[in-house]
């Protein structure tokens, strides 16, 4: 997900997507432990997407404060 797409989301949508991504990364890690994933870079990309969303969420919350 691109940063420009993330900035268009509302605070509530960002929080919802962050929780969904965190749940997805846990699921992927568990699946990878049982049987190796074909494309392990998906875990890395998801972690980075979460970091981007958290950064934008923090920026939006600081602006409103």
Q: What is the pLDDT of residue 53?
A: 97
Is the per-residue pLDDT at 65 higher than 70?
A: no
Which residue range forms the structural domain that includes residue 59?
3-64
- What are the tens digits of pLDDT across the range 10-55? 999 999 999 999 999 999 999 999 999 999 999 999 999 999 999 9
Query: Domain with 49 in it: what CATH number?
Result: 1.10.287
* Count of domains forming the chain: 1
Is the per-residue pLDDT at 64 higher than 80?
A: no
Residues 34 and 31: their CA atoms lie apart, in Å, by 5
- Asked whether 43 and 37 are in contact (CB, 8 A), the reply is yes
- Asked whether 46 and 28 are in contact (CB, 8 A), the reply is yes
Q: What is the pLDDT of residue 28?
A: 96
Q: What is the pLDDT of residue 50?
A: 97
Q: What is the pLDDT of residue 1?
A: 80
CA distances from 65 to 6, 27, 56, 60 (A): 20, 35, 14, 9
């Amino acid at each position: 997900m691109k940063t420009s797409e993330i900035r268009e989301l509302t605070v509530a949508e960002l929080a919802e997507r962050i929780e969904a991504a965190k749940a997805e990364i846990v699921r992927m890690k568990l699946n990878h432990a049982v049987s190796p994933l074909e494309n392990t870079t998906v875990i890395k990309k998801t972690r980075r997407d979460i970091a981007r969303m958290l950064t934008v969420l923090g920026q939006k919350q600081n602006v409103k404060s």
